[in-house]
Structure 1
Amino acid sequence: MPPRMPRRRTRRPLRTAAVGAVVAAVLAAMPGAAIAGTTIAGTTIADATPAAARANTAPANNDYCAGQCNDILPPGENGNATLADILANKVFGTRPAHTDDQLGPYAALASGYPGLTDDQLDSFFNDASFGVPADQVASTTSPRPDVTIVRDKATGVPHITGTTRYGTEFGAGYAAAQDRLWVMDLFRHVGRGELSGFAGGAAANRQLEQSFWQAAPYTEDELQAQIGSVAASGPRGQQALADAQAYVDGINQYITQSYNGRYFPGEYDLTGQVNAITNAGSIQPFKLTDLVALASVIGALFGSGGGGQLASAEVKEAADARYGPALGDQVWNSLREVNDPEAVTTLHDGQSFPYAVPPADPQGTALPDPGSVVPEQLVYDATGSAASTAATAAPGVLPGNLLTAKHGMSNALVVSGKYTASGHPVAVFGPQTGYFAPQLLMLEELQGPGISARGAAFAGLSFYVELGRGQDYAWSATSAGQDITDTYAVPLCTTDGSPVTLAAQSYLYHGVCTPFDKLVQTDAWSPTTADSTPAGSYSLVMYRSDYGLVTARGTVGGQPVAFTELRSSYDHEVDSIIGFQMLNDPSVVQGPAGFQQAAQNINYTFNWFYADSQHTAYYNSGDNPVRPADVDPNLPTWAQPAYEWQGFDPTTNTAQYTPPAQHPQSVDQDYYVSWNNKQAADYGSATYGNGSVYRANLLDSRVKALVAEGGVTRAELTQAMEDAAVTDLRGEDVLPDLLKVIGTAPVTDPQLASEVQQLTAWQAAGSKRTETSAGSHVYTDATAIQLMDAWWPLLADGIMHPGLGDQAYTALTGALQINESPSGGQTGATSGSTSANESIPHKGSSFQYGWWSYLDKDLRSVLGQPVAGPLAQQFCGGGSLTACRTVLLTTLQQAAAETAAQVYPGDSSCSAGDQWCADSIIQRPLGGVTDANSTWQNRPTYQQVVEFPSHR
């Protein structure tokens, strides 16, 4: 008998009350409408703004930072260029005002930080004070009578002041469109899987829309349902919806005015949206669901954590095959470093926050049969250029690997007032969102009823400041990446009793054969001025189960299954709006407790940091699902009731989440550092590489030394950040181990001895990648740096490959890439293998992902030094110190034989062999205007330097 068929469920139905809330809030947000007391469909909308905040309609002067708040966001605030601007940039190299004026000061810190004083900070950062002095006003605009947008001469940042809540948010939308309309339009299409039809069918455009459709596919009704869900959450949700609608109204007014006045972004001309001669065409107005699509993109990029269980399973199975199940599991466990005792943690006062730590005897694990896993097909019915490989080299409007490639994240350095010169906390922090022209983020100041903040926000979501400062406090975040995404093995089935194969379109849910939801997005494109790819079309298809999205198929014990990924924030992309609203509200954030309360309302995985004049604080946000105690979150799990998240409801994708008290948090620790490292002891992560050497070590060692000395200033903390930013992690924390092994005997070969001496001198000088002088484009210790760049991938191969064997070595590179150098070009190969899973070139952020810890632990073990949490096997030279030394010298000799052109092979921006250029940061163009390369530094994109001398 075939399994019985259930009735089809409707996913997240939009309840009548939610509809009433949506309609009421939208109507209330119209110009001149009053929000309080509106009742539609039984829902009364209250004013969420506290009375005290409502009474203060112009809080622009409530600035307690006294000129000690700074920020920077390269390349510049202005992200809109007309067609004439773009053509002038291509022909004459000119750029519109404020397009790149923050790039120079940002780049200059790499050479200017030694000897930095507090008085010199304004040379490298913007003044982030509230308001604009009268003599610094560049322009004043009032798109409505109840809002004024003032732009300053120095940076062109919009300072938005509203006498009403609606006017404030309207102005935020208007200013966002002025500065980022094209970027916003790109990303609302990316979030819907429609980029190619909008901006051309270049291969990169297709790659990008495919990756996002795989991560967050929604129907239009489901996007609308998320809006309804927020509106039904209470007064703050209703206020957020009204704010968002006012924001959209502001965007749309700018679209209408710029189209009629013909000063809209020139990319609309270049992509054929508008005829450059006749002005025929249109710029589609924005709607609320566009903001949900935008939020899904940002959440997928920066606020999701976990996943990767299939890759981890492959490492386990390969290790078991190599060493046998018992020793193989020990090797696998030591390589994943889930709770490594030597890992640098943000909370270092002995706190423990157990979460996602593997159980001793896991149950429900579903390991795929080796070789059976097949990625899920995504593209169907391809025609024209979509079915051809002829246009694969065509450039896209966005990097195709924006989501799929591993990107660097963010850092934070915060010191308690007990250890500063002034007695007030000092913070240097910011997100690393990548380098783009224009940026994904934009700067703004918002002042209005219940809102008082200045900082950065993602374009298209800037109705609240997302990272920045309030009247007497500042906050920032780093991506946390704790495990909120699990992989399930879902048994396949057929509804007609036919044999079950991997092609089956139904699955077992609690014993019932249930068809997958089929989410289809069809995209078609024509050639455009900017993209000569021939016309084409295809359909993107994602299958969704009650256990998440289907990412692959395979067999477990011979049984056909679909492997799905279930993310707790899926279908809840906009829930975090409440937390951001609270961070902007001075009546909520009056100290650490209010800050942590706001952060608790953010469901994305972030580490949040706070500083005011008296206190510092930290909180790790995210909807952390509660798993059964016997489930290992690091491996695929059988899709059975016994192994589901506790309280799991698939119709709403909700579950029981760990309570706030169980999230890593702290107030007034002596200092905090984060560079996407481990949060606290016992706080597990599915990410490999949180071991003894991680790039956060560069921050921790420097800030710890400052705190021990005391009297820390803003300039000194900035120096600590920047000194770490120009340091090669491999040189500082692994090269000493390498030199110790080599130094156990004399190096008799004169050439090798010279190379060892160069590396020794570089390490003694601080392992810096800095220019001989500002603008020289030549590195001090250039030869040693080239040696290290060429040596590392050969080292990793020479040390680890023989012991792991081909299968485990390859599997481990899939779970954690070997190297992430600044240039991203070293892909060394020996023994028939390659380590080509390098970083993206020219992206700045480096040394987050790599085998630094593996080599450090193994080399110290071979040297006979104590190692807490050692690898289960000694790899280098099979554990023989003599043989290990031979491996190091042999691979160093191979590295020295490589020419500069081999180490730095060149690309469309750099000649082969140009070391500085290979490292250099490029602001990846998201539009028609490009910027010059800048010197490498491993640093946040947007960054604040703050110290508040007083408090409300």
Structure 2
Amino acid sequence: MPRPIRTAAAACSAALILLAGVGTALARDYAGTALNIIPSGQWGGFGAPPQADRQARLYDGLTPLFDRVTPRDLTTYFKPETFGTKGQCPCKAERVPRRGVRIVRDRENVPHITGRNRLDLDWAAGWVLAQDRALLLSLGRYPARFAALDTPGVDAFGLVTSLKRVTVTEQADSIIDREQTAALMARGSEGRALLRDIDEYVKGINARLRFDRSLEKPWTRVDVYAINALAGQIFGQGGGDEARRSMLLDGLRRKLGADAGRRVWNDLAEQLDDDTPTTISKRFPYARIPSRAPGSAVIDNGSLNAGAEAAVATASRAHRNMSNFLILSGRRSTNGHPLFVAGPQIGYFYPGLTLEMDLRAPGIQARGAAMPGGAGNLLIGRGEDFAWSLTSAGSDTNDQFVETLCGGSDTKYLFRGRCRAMGSVNAGTIAGQGAIRYRTTVHGPVLGYAGVGGRRVAISFQRSSRGKDVLWQIMFRRMTNGTVTGLRSFRAAAATSPFTFNVGYADDRDIAMYSTGLLPLRDPRVDPRLPTIGTGQYEWRGFLAARHHPQVANPSSGALINWNNKPAAGFSSSDADWSQGSTQRVTLLREGIAKREKHDLASVTSAMNAAATQDLRVAGPLLAGLHNVLAGSQAPSPRSQRMADLLNAWRASGSSRLDRDLDGKIDVGAAPAIVDALYPRLADAVLTPVLGADLDRQLSELEGTTNSTASGFTGGRINYLDKDLRTLTGTRFRSPFATRFCGGGDLATCRAAIWRAFEETGAALALTQGSEDPAQWTSDATAERIRFLPGLMQTTIRYTNRPSGIQQVITFTGHRKERR
């Protein structure tokens, strides 16, 4: 907590000191409306103060409004994101040991920082970070090293949230420092400027640690580098799950035969499905599948050793995809200017993973959410006349390579005609696990060992952004410094990111999106869905040029809507993402926007807020497809028919899981409990006849057993069910499956299987609910209330699937004179 100035005389004296050399006036604010919310709040100490949950309660207040948000509600349930403190007091000036820096805290504890220059802001951002997120920094700095190194089998973020004690080695720090500093130096003057920012930022962190008499070791560049790598591991990469998915292919070929097994696997992979919703309609081809792929390998099913299995599962599990943006052009707006409702969904934590800052220095005026490791830059936010936000794109930045072992050794491998010794890294120790050591090849860390055609091989992991994580900050540096002044400079800034995100942008006239990342150009003899043979013949051939990345400005539709759906038509899904199919939750946002031609900020927020509590399994096309399959048939029991009727009635009422009256039960009654229990059985009923029980379980390990609140309504095999069932009743798709799953394509057989799933679900629910009558059943809302991990703040809020790192609600009505 800041130390307040206690008397009027002291306040006046301190203000004179603070203002000495700080004469920077507020820049003109071109926003007509600028609001935001960060549910985790600004406070972040070990003992959460009573006011720590104020923003969480505002955030929760919007949820029950569903699609009825009014302009007045915006100013009730969001807070100002204007520059300076006007209308945001009572405020407190804060003493800092650096002349030329002024920090004033508003009523939400947000720091408004003024400096004489950029380096002052860097220092002050470090000071504030250590003040407001000291606990998070202490928990995260050492586990983050494992993310920077891609340490096999280690879930770095899981170590943070589990509060596990970690120590790291000099070797680990040396590797990270060498690689990341070299990457900055290679960027020339901009890289060197960012390095100066980092060094000043570290000084600010350490100044605050000394002020607080902290026992923490002083921060270094490596801490900043590693924290950026951790953020990238969680949100900014994709792919790297080829080995497990190729094992499924091997299993299918053994069960069904080579051709039939390959056809089923192609259907399941959903690598390029022209029926999936995209944000950009123009085609941006990437990562096509060759007719022959001699550069790819298929892992023998079940041959991954236990360590490798855990390592590849951990790498895939690290990716989080929950963010969204709704950006409308002036043509679709009642005020004639773009509307911007956007934010990243990074989970719910206390201390929060983001914190807010308002930054001002000559030539710099920006406000928004910063992140640990941000080096004085804002992650998501706004300048004088523009705003930006991110959603995880999950594009294919990672690959697994099959290393040919030689010399009868597990530590020698063949590369470009000669046997090489693997490297060795001692990364550190984890309490309860001991020392963390692993081998490396030219491609990266060795995840473990497996078989290919009965021959033992090593599996290594290559990530395009490894050793370049800190370059992510260049985009945010340009945004924060105000050097982004229009479409061209926005695209140029976004193109610098090594991590893969969809970046949304709006000013007073233009809207745009650019999908970022170092996207490998693979050898044309490699199938991007399978592991690559690592002998040196099939290496990456550079990276996708900026002009070929999915991007658009001012689309004819007047809308840019993204909820981690595929960015553009023709753009390949990563090998780890088999969920970009015929249904995706972004359709819920689209439906809300489609309700009217012209919107204001309240109606755009309504579309977002309604979708945040809707159940995709019911609101999307799946339930309609299921209804059509069952139409004209007789349910095996009145109970099953009543269950089906309740689901259809829920769809008609809006498909929301709201608990408005906070009685602990979802308002609509039994239907949510029915779909939760029915869905996994339904998926098995559709897929198991083709896959068999063992391969269905294997697919479920890759894609999840259910599509639900727990998964944010992603994955869970929903696309297979949706397309297969709708195909069965006559829907024609642009990318049809070659396989008929449910009932082998026979409608009567499929119906019988689905009704059996209803019967089994009904029997199970009758036992747990204590009644045979579905009308008497209830759905538990308390179980899915959101809790702030790891439990230091006890407040809980209603279930909602909306941005949590920050959500901005903004429209601009003017612009600086210069525009590029």
The Cα offsets for residues 198-249 of structure 1, whole Å up to 9 and x where unpaired, read as xxx99974997999999xx944243244124313422211111111111111
Q: Quick check: 1:512 aligned with 2:418?
A: yes
What's the counterpart of residue 582 of structure 1? 478
- Counterpart CA distance in 2 for 1:210 and 1:632 is 39
Equivalent residue, structure 2, for 1:359: 290
Residue in 2 that maps onto 1:73: 38
Which residue of 2 is the match for residue 700 of structure 1? 590
- Aligned residue type for 1:782: G
Distance 2:176 2:434 in 1: 22
Further displaced range: 456-465 or 242-251: 456-465
d(CA) in 1 for partners of 2:296, 2:507: 46
Over the aligned positions, Cα root-mean-square deviation in angstroms equals 2.9
Report the equivalent of 1:64. 30
The 3 A distance-change label for structure 1 pair 661 and 209 is farther
Does the residue aligned with 1:328 lie in a helix, a strand or coil?
Answer: helix
Distance 1:203 1:439 in 2: 13
**SS, match of residue 512 in structure 2:** strand
* Residue equivalent to 2:177: 223
Taking the aligned partners of 2:147 and 2:527, their CA distance within structure 1 comes to: 37
Q: Secondary structure at the match of 2:402?
A: strand
User: What are structure 1's unaligned runs of at least 5 residues?
Assistant: 1-54, 87-94, 196-200, 265-281, 380-399, 526-535, 647-655, 825-838, 840-845, 905-911
Aligned residue in 2 for 1:29: none
Are 2:148 and 1:258 aligned?
no
Residue aligned with 2:366, SS: strand
Q: Distance in 2 between matches of 1:209 and 1:776?
A: 33
> Quick one: distance in 2 between partners of 1:782 and 1:127?
37
User: Take 2:571 and 2:519, find their aligned partners in 1: how far apart are those partners?
Assistant: 11
* Structure 1 residue 903 displacement after superposition: 9.1
State the Cα distance separating 1:751 from its structure 2 match: 2.1
1:777 aligns with 2:664: yes
Q: Secondary structure at the match of 2:331?
A: helix
Paired position in structure 2 for 1:468: 381
Q: Distance in 2 between matches of 1:213 and 1:691?
A: 43
Match runs of 1:405-484 below 5 Å: 407-461=320-374, 463-484=376-397
Among 442, 458, 478, the residue aligned to 1:562? 458
Residues 399 and 462 in structure 2, CA contact (< 8 A), matched pair in contact too: yes
Q: Partner letter of residue 945 of structure 1?
A: V
User: 2:126, 2:375 within 8 Å by CA — same for their partners in 1?
Assistant: yes
Which of 256, 263, 266 is the matching residue for 1:323? 256
Find the counterpart in structure 2 of residue 881 from structure 1: 747
SS of residue in 2 equivalent to 1:782:
coil
- Indicate the residue corresponding to 2:447 in structure 1: 551
Secondary structure of the structure 2 residue equivalent to 1:99:
helix
**2:360 is aligned with what amino acid?**
Q
Q: Secondary structure at the match of 1:679?
A: strand
- Give the Cα–Cα distance (whole angstroms) in 2 for the partners of residues 792 and 78 of structure 1: 40
Which amino acid in structure 2 is aligned with residue 762 of structure 1?
W
Is the contact made by 1:343 and 1:691 (CA closer than 8 Å) also made in structure 2? yes
Match of 1:713 in 2: 600
The answer (yes or no) to whether the contact 1:57–1:164 under 8 Å persists in 2 is no
**Of residues 652, 661, 681 in structure 2, which corresponds to 1:794?**
681
Matches within 5 A, 1:495-894: 499-500=408-409, 504-523=410-429, 538-586=434-482, 588-646=483-541, 656-669=542-555, 670-685=558-573, 686=575, 687-703=577-593, 705-706=594-595, 709-733=596-620, 734-747=622-635, 749-771=637-659, 773-822=660-709, 824=710, 839=711, 846-894=712-760
User: 1:898 is matched with which residue?
Assistant: 764
> By how many angstroms is 1:115 displaced?
2.8
Instruction: Decide which of 804, 808, 811 is 1:944's aligned counterpart.
Output: 808
Structure 1 residues 170 and 137: alpha-carbon distance in aligned structure 2, compared to 1, 3 A threshold: farther
Shift of residue 405, structure 1, vs aligned partner: 5.6
Kindly provide the amino acid, as one letter, of the partner of residue 679 in structure 2.
W
Cα-to-partner distance string for 1:399-426 (whole Å, 9 max, x where unaligned)? x989836644211111111111011000
Q: What are structure 2's unaligned runs of at least 5 residues?
A: 1-20, 149-154, 771-776
Mapped contact 2:24–2:362 kept (Cα < 8 A): yes
Residues 690 and 936 of structure 1, relative CA distance in 2, 3 Å threshold: same
- Does the aligned pair in 1 maintain the 2:275–2:581 contact within 8 Å? yes
Q: How many residues align?
A: 774
SS of 1:619's equivalent? strand
How far, CA to CA, are the matches of 1:902 and 1:932 in structure 2? 28
- Structure 1's 369 and 817: CA in aligned 2 closer, same or farther, altered over 3 A? same
- The answer (yes or no) to whether the contact 1:900–1:915 under 8 Å persists in 2 is no
Question: Does structure 2 conserve the Cα–Cα contact (< 8 Å) formed by 1:372 and 1:555?
Answer: yes
**Paired amino acid for 1:77:** Q
Q: Residue by residue, what CA displacement relative to the aligned partner does 1:526-548 show, whole Å, maximum 9, x if unpaired?
A: xxxxxxxxxx6721012111012
Q: How far apart in 2 are the matches of 1:168 and 1:717?
A: 34
Task: Name the counterpart of 1:241.
Answer: 195
Q: 1:537 to 1:668 in 2, by over 3 A?
A: closer
Answering whether residue 276 of structure 2 is matched by residue 343 of structure 1, we say: yes
Find the aligned partners of 2:612 and 2:73 in 1 and give their Cα distance. 19
Paired residues of 1:900 and 1:913 also in contact (CA < 8 A): no
Could you list the structure 1 runs, at least 4 aligned residues long, displaced by more than 3 angstroms after superposition. 201-214, 375-379, 400-408, 899-904
Deviations, residues 640-691 of structure 1 (Å, cap 9, x unaligned): 3331101xxxxxxxxx211110000000112111111111111112210100
CA distance in 2, matches of 1:759, 1:426: 35
Partner amino acid, structure 2, of 1:858: D
**1:538–1:748 distance in 2 versus 1, CA, 3 Å:** closer
Normalised TM-score (structure 1): 0.77
Compared CA separation, residues 613 and 327, structure 1 to 2 (3 A): same
Structure 2 letter corresponding to 1:80: G
TM-score, scaled to structure 2: 0.89
Relative distance call for 1:748 and 1:658 in structure 2 (3 A) is: closer
Describe the shift of the 1:865–1:225 C-alpha distance in structure 2 as closer, same or farther (beyond 3 A): closer
Q: 1:604 to 1:405 in 2, by over 3 A?
A: closer
